[in-house]
Amino acid sequence: MTDSETPDQLDAKHDRNREQRIAAIKRWVSYIQSEPPEVWGPQQNAVVNGQLTAAQHAATSAAHQQHVADVAQDILAIQDEDSDTTDLRTDR
């Protein structure tokens, strides 16, 4: 294998990973559309809670934690702006 093949292989791996993520999302959407929230809600909560627990046990610096909080605030601000814009459009 030459060095010139490495980026192509990495791109192919990224493409496969992306396709697998999209397929998993489609399966999840199909599942939640076919089952009531009482069934899939606790399952989703268990996944999210597990991720939160893992994140809390990860050794992260104060700077990284602050960065995450800043990004979360930015996302919320964008969502608020989008909802304000949506509200304006629906008032017409």
pLDDT one-digit tens code per residue, 6-45: 788 999 999 999 999 999 999 999 999 999 999 999 999 9
What pTM does this model have? 0.48
Q: Are 40 and 32 in contact (CB under 8 A)?
A: yes
Q: At what angle do helices 5-34 and 37-57 cross, to 10 degrees?
A: 140
Output the CA torsion 27→28→31→32 (10° steps): -150
pLDDT in tens, 65-81: 899 999 999 999 998 88
| Cβ-based burial of 32 (10 A; exposed 0-12, middle 13-18, buried ≥19) | middle
Dihedral (Cα; 15, 20, 25, 29), 10-degree rounding: 130
